[in-house]
Amino acid sequence: MRTTLTLEKDVAESIKRLLKRRGTSMKALINEALRLGLSQIERPGPKKAFCTKVVSLKPRASNVDDVAEVLALAEGDDFR
């Protein structure tokens, strides 16, 4: 496929440096760079870690059998 690209100045300078260093064609260099860049773009990024909210249970419930009481205390409500 033939196309025309307009390169930014810093990209064009990097290409010129790499062409001199590698002694390859511009076509081969651009294709290699695009393949590497596209493979990184298509790769999914790292997943965000799941974090839980810390809740203080002070004052501690003496009886944890009553879930409603424990939740009320955790939320700062007066259960009694």
Any domain includes 18: yes
The dihedrals phi and psi of 50, each to the nearest 5 degrees, come to -85, 130
Amino acid letter for position 21: R
Any domain includes 76: no
Which residue shows structure tokens 């260099």? 29
Any domain includes 77: no
Residue 21 CB coordination number (10 Å)? 8
Domains identified in the chain, total number: 1
pLDDT exceeds cutoff 70 at 3: yes
Across 26-42, average pLDDT: 94
Across 9-38, average pLDDT: 95
The Cβ-side half-sphere exposure at 73, using a 13 Å CA radius, reads 15
Any domain includes 28: yes
Q: Where in the sequence is the domain holding 24, given as residue range(s)?
A: 9-42
pLDDT at 33: 95
What single DSSP character describes residue 23?
-
